[in-house]
Structure 1
Amino acid sequence: MIEHFPFFLALIVVILLLIMLADKIKVAYPVLLVITGLIISFFPGIPKIQIKPELIFIIFLPPLLYDAAFAMSWKELWRWRRIVGSFAFVVVFLTAFSVALVANWCIPGISLALGFLLGGIVSPPDAVSASAILKFVKLPRRMSSIMEGESLLNDASSLIIFRFAMLTVATGQFVWHEAALSFGWMVIGGSVIGLAVGWLFMKAHQLLPTDANIDIVLSFVTPYVMYIAAEEVHSSGVLAVVSGGLLLANRRHIFLSSSSRLRGVNVWQSFVFVLNGVVFLLIGLDLPEIHEGLKQEGIALPLAIGYGLVITAVLIIGRIIASFGAVVTTKIMSHFIQVADPNPGWKAPVLLSWSGMRGVVSLAAALSIPVEVNGVPFPHRNLILFITFVVILTTLVLQGLTLPWLIKKLELPDYGDYLPEEETEAMLKRGMAEHSLHYFHQNYRKHLVTNEILRTKVALWEQKSHEEPEELTEETKRIYLDVLEQQRLWLQNKNNTDDKIDEEIVRKLLHGIDLDEEKLRYS
């Protein structure tokens, strides 16, 4: 391992150059990384990269999921819970079922159990690929929220299907009532464990004398503890990380200081940036090993590619049917229950149907298939690995390269879910100023007589002055910090009570308050 260290350093440099190139030519970086990894793997003298599944499941997956949960708005997830839940659970199961039927029908030696195993592997779309593509185009908030919410939960449901299929292949039987109980424990147990671990870490941040450095280190430890604790009791580690991450994300302003929040954001962005780059490059670099296993199985390369393209077609067509089926279901359900939008139109399902790129989780699941089961070689392991690679590469290149063009051609409407951004920001700033003045006059009015700096601050809120004081006394700092905290609480309450407020703007203003607090503490 140590002799390959210079090679790994060179890979990091390659990743950085490719991501810069992707930004320059407006292409999603996962596409370039996978293709480049594939090309590099054929260079003579390149070390063989053997990706161990636990490397991705334990090292890569928890922080990537945790970061995605922190970025997700709970308000948005709850608002679109029906469509998110249907895609993350129902559509994933139907996709796995479709893949199982087609694989059993057209691939010799693939039983229904093996077909379900393959279906569980390739059914979840990849969150990283979608977010990398969507940053180049402007998307209505509801669409990005639905896609982010689906990507948070579909990994858990697909891995649950994968685990049940593995058990069926190993034992040769499937007991429905045991499977139902196990499914319930994985979902409920994983969520509860994630919330419990998240609560413990939140209390640790609050009760222990931590500083920004310790808080950031604890934030790195948190997703790993959640994932491992859940997996140790055979529940869903993915759901544990997602549920715990959502809890801590929505309480971050309670248990983290402004310094920890500001510095933590920068550290996590860099960390996740490197993790994503490494994973997608490794996908391409792993092809020679997969191809070697395919030859050992005696399957011709063109035939294996054909199988992979057939499964890819099933995934794409199945998602198209599911997307338009969701529209029909929504219209029917709107007659019986209140739905967020009873008439979503045709453009939204077109976009959802074409945003099904596969990636990290599919590769990790495929690699975790054991080489042997019950003392004999696992049936068609290498073929399943190769089909998974073809699916990842094809969906990344085909859909990844065309999705931005499709979004521009669709010209999606604004939908009117939220107030315009400029209007929202101006309204919130005005509301914060009014609330600050009201709170100040109620609690600190007498200080205006003797404290000129506070008078300047109040005048600034009243838009009568734009001069910033140069020196602050400890008392002035204490009062102003208290008022900033009131602004923070007001913003959070406004976000929770007004569905027309886009949480992205609220987070932007909260970030500004953190910056004001940091400047105040070090002035």
Structure 2
Amino acid sequence: MLEHFPFYLTLIVAIVLLIMLANKIKVAYPVLLVLAGLTISFIPGIPTIHIDPELIFIIFLPPLLYEAAWTISWKELWRWRRIVSSFAFLVVFLTAMSVAFVANHFIPGFSLALGFLLGGIVSPPDAVSASAILKFVKVPKRMSSILEGESLLNDASSLIIFRFALIAVATGQFIWHEAALSFSWMLLGGVGIGLLVGWLFMKAHKYLPTDANMDIALSLVTPYMMYITAEEVHSSGVLAVVSGGLFLSNKRHLFLSSTSRLRGVNVWESLCFILNGLVFIIIGLDLPEITAGLEGVSISSAIDYGVLITLVLILGRLLSAYGAVIVTLIARYFITVADSRNPGYKVPFVLGWTGMRGVVSLAAALSIPVHLSDGSAFPQRNLILFITFIVILLTLLLQGLTLPYIIRKVNMPDLDPTLPEEEAYNLIRKQLAEHALQHLKTNYSEQLNNQPVLQQMARKWEDSSLSANYTDMVVECKTIYLDILNQQRQWLINKNKEEKTLDEDIIRKHFRYLDLEEEKLGFI
């Protein structure tokens, strides 16, 4: 391990340089990283990167899922809950089932259980790939929200299928009533444990004498504790991390200081940046080891199987996207839906084309044990790994490289007409200033008459500017200003709840600004 340490450092530098290149040429960085890893793997003398299959989930998934849960908008997730749930659960199951039957029929030696195992691995689209691509093109807010919500939940559903298929392959049997009970426990237990562990950590942050460094350390431990606790009692660790992350994300302003929030964002973004980069480059680096283990099947045949499964996935997602629209248009006559308008053929096509596979598929494939409990080799393990690699590579290249062009070409209509982001931001800024000024005049009228600093702040707010000159600010003024900042945060929370179509990212930008304002007080 230590003799390869310089190689790992070089790998991280290479990841940074490749992502810089990807941004320069406007290509999604997962595509370049996979190709670079594949190229590097053929260089003589390059160390073989091998990760213990039992640790792959624990190393990568908890922090990546936790960070995704913190950044997603709960309001948008709830608004599009029906289509998100259908893609995250129903579509994933149908996709896995389609892959299972196709693999069972066309791939020699593939039982139905192995087919479901492969289906569980390749069924969830990758959020990182989609996000990396969508940042180069403008898409309606609803589409990005649906993709983010789907990616957060489909990992859990696909890995549940994967786990049941793994048991079926290992034991050779599948008992439906036991599976139903186990499935219920995985769902309810995973969510419950995530919420419980999240609540305990929230109390620890709130009542223990922690500082920003301690808060960040605790936040790094939190997703691993959620995942490991849930897995120890045989429930879903993925659902535990997702539910606990969503819970803590919604409560972040109640138990974390402004310093902890600001520093924590930077730490988590850097950590996930490195983890995502490593996973995608490992995909390419692992190919020689995967191909070396293929037995009883030629490389050309294995590639054919990978192409076949990729076509099943692409076609299945496109049909599911149009099916979701049809179901929604029918359901609007019976239930209230988020939007009953017909989106046309463009929106579902683009949604269906965003099916790039990546991190979760690789992690699941690598976590397949090398041997069964009786010591015999796990059947078709390396072929499953190879097919997974082909699926990831083809979807990244075919869909990943063409998606920006397709989005520009179809010119999707924005069915949620809202103010431009800058205009919406400035409007909230003005309303926030008015609210702060009103609170100051109502609750601190006497101090306002006597304190020049407060008068200066009031004049600034009257000009709709939230900045102020803090020179010679006295302790009393600091206390008043902190109270006003807290009032502004509460106003933002209420504003976000009341206006269902308001982009929550704009609200979060204002939260970040208020945190920065509070941080300035520490330097006075």
Within-5 A mapping of 1:228-243: 228-243=228-243
* 8 Å CA contact 1:456, 1:469 repeated in 2: no
Q: Work out the CA distance in 2 between the residues paired with 1:422 and 1:371.
A: 54
1:324 to 297, 322, 325: 322
1:492 corresponding residue in structure 2 = 493
CA deviations over 1:396-435 (Å, ceiling 9, x no partner):
1111111111111121222125443233223312221222
Task: Name the SS of the counterpart of 2:293 in structure 1.
Answer: helix
1:45 corresponding residue in structure 2 = 45
Within-5 A mapping of 1:172-211: 172-211=172-211
2:309 corresponding residue in structure 1 = 311
1:119 corresponding residue in structure 2 = 119
CA deviations over 1:247-287 (Å, ceiling 9, x no partner):
11111111111111111111111111111111111111011
Task: Name the SS of the counterpart of 2:92 in structure 1.
Answer: helix
**TM-score normalized by the length of structure 2:** 0.97
Task: Name the SS of the counterpart of 1:372 in structure 2.
Answer: coil
* 8 Å CA contact 2:56, 2:366 repeated in 1: no
Q: Tell me how far 1:11 sits from its aligned partner.
A: 0.7
Q: Tell me how far 1:53 sits from its aligned partner.
A: 2.4
Within-5 A mapping of 1:116-515: 116-294=116-294, 297-342=295-340, 343-373=342-372, 374-416=374-416, 418-463=418-463, 468-515=469-516
Greater Cα offset, 222-231 or 460-469: 460-469
Q: Tell me how far 1:467 sits from its aligned partner.
A: 6.5
Query: How many percent of aligned residue pairs carry the same amino acid?
Result: 68
Q: Work out the CA distance in 2 between the residues paired with 1:150 and 1:34.
A: 23
CA deviations over 1:327-376 (Å, ceiling 9, x no partner):
11001101101111122222211111111111111111111222222332
Q: Work out the CA distance in 2 between the residues paired with 1:126 and 1:417.
A: 28
The 1:162/1:335 distance shift into structure 2, 3 A limit, reads: same
CA deviations over 1:438-484 (Å, ceiling 9, x no partner):
21122111102211111111111112998624221111100011001
Q: Work out the CA distance in 2 between the residues paired with 1:218 and 1:157.
A: 28
Q: Work out the CA distance in 2 between the residues paired with 1:437 and 1:187.
A: 47
Q: Work out the CA distance in 1 between the residues paired with 2:470 and 2:359.
A: 51
Q: Tell me how far 1:244 sits from its aligned partner.
A: 0.6
Q: Work out the CA distance in 1 between the residues paired with 2:366 and 2:425.
A: 47
CA deviations over 1:99-145 (Å, ceiling 9, x no partner):
01100111111111111111011100111111111111122111000
**Structure 2 unaligned spans of 5+:** none
Q: Work out the CA distance in 1 between the residues paired with 2:468 and 2:17.
A: 44
Within-5 A mapping of 1:22-41: 22-41=22-41
Task: Name the SS of the counterpart of 2:445 in structure 1.
Answer: coil
Q: Tell me how far 1:520 sits from its aligned partner.
A: 2.0
CA deviations over 1:199-225 (Å, ceiling 9, x no partner):
111110100111111111111011110
* 8 Å CA contact 2:140, 2:416 repeated in 1: no
CA deviations over 1:295-317 (Å, ceiling 9, x no partner):
xx121100100000000000000
Q: Work out the CA distance in 2 between the residues paired with 1:358 and 1:100.
A: 17
Q: Work out the CA distance in 2 between the residues paired with 1:367 and 1:509.
A: 42
Q: Work out the CA distance in 2 between the residues paired with 1:274 and 1:420.
A: 33
* 8 Å CA contact 2:434, 2:464 repeated in 1: no
Q: Work out the CA distance in 2 between the residues paired with 1:95 and 1:217.
A: 39
Q: Work out the CA distance in 2 between the residues paired with 1:30 and 1:174.
A: 37
Task: Name the SS of the counterpart of 2:362 in structure 1.
Answer: helix
* 8 Å CA contact 2:194, 2:239 repeated in 1: yes
Q: Work out the CA distance in 2 between the residues paired with 1:351 and 1:53.
A: 34
Q: Work out the CA distance in 2 between the residues paired with 1:448 and 1:114.
A: 73
Q: Work out the CA distance in 1 between the residues paired with 2:227 and 2:337.
A: 33
**TM-score normalized by the length of structure 1:** 0.98
Q: Work out the CA distance in 1 between the residues paired with 2:141 and 2:410.
A: 15
2:12 corresponding residue in structure 1 = 12
2:21 corresponding residue in structure 1 = 21
Q: Work out the CA distance in 1 between the residues paired with 2:508 and 2:300.
A: 50
Q: Tell me how far 1:167 sits from its aligned partner.
A: 1.1
Greater Cα offset, 409-418 or 380-389: 409-418
Q: Tell me how far 1:74 sits from its aligned partner.
A: 0.5
Q: Work out the CA distance in 2 between the residues paired with 1:467 and 1:497.
A: 29
CA deviations over 1:35-83 (Å, ceiling 9, x no partner):
1101111111111121222343011110000111011010000000000
* 8 Å CA contact 2:89, 2:157 repeated in 1: yes
Q: Tell me how far 1:500 sits from its aligned partner.
A: 2.3
Q: Work out the CA distance in 1 between the residues paired with 2:170 and 2:468.
A: 73
Q: Work out the CA distance in 1 between the residues paired with 2:204 and 2:130.
A: 34
Give the aligned residue type for 1:518. Answer: E
Q: Work out the CA distance in 2 between the residues paired with 1:22 and 1:138.
A: 18
Q: Work out the CA distance in 2 between the residues paired with 1:128 and 1:469.
A: 41
Greater Cα offset, 399-408 or 433-442: 433-442
Q: Work out the CA distance in 2 between the residues paired with 1:282 and 1:455.
A: 59
* 8 Å CA contact 1:311, 1:391 repeated in 2: yes
* 8 Å CA contact 1:417, 1:500 repeated in 2: no
* 8 Å CA contact 1:477, 1:521 repeated in 2: no
Give the aligned residue type for 2:302. Answer: A
Aligned length: 521
* 8 Å CA contact 1:436, 1:486 repeated in 2: yes
Q: Work out the CA distance in 1 between the residues paired with 2:468 and 2:107.
A: 74
Task: Name the SS of the counterpart of 1:376 in structure 2.
Answer: coil
* 8 Å CA contact 2:347, 2:412 repeated in 1: yes
Runs of 4+ in 1 over 4 A off after TM superposition: 464-467
Greater Cα offset, 358-367 or 202-211: 358-367
* 8 Å CA contact 2:125, 2:356 repeated in 1: yes
Q: Tell me how far 1:170 sits from its aligned partner.
A: 1.5
Q: Work out the CA distance in 2 between the residues paired with 1:52 and 1:285.
A: 15
Task: Name the SS of the counterpart of 2:354 in structure 1.
Answer: coil
Q: Work out the CA distance in 1 between the residues paired with 2:65 and 2:159.
A: 14
Q: Work out the CA distance in 2 between the residues paired with 1:467 and 1:121.
A: 54
The alignment's C-alpha RMSD in Å is: 1.3
Q: Work out the CA distance in 1 between the residues paired with 2:134 and 2:426.
A: 26
* 8 Å CA contact 2:54, 2:369 repeated in 1: no
Task: Name the SS of the counterpart of 2:54 in structure 1.
Answer: helix
Q: Work out the CA distance in 2 between the residues paired with 1:70 and 1:209.
A: 23
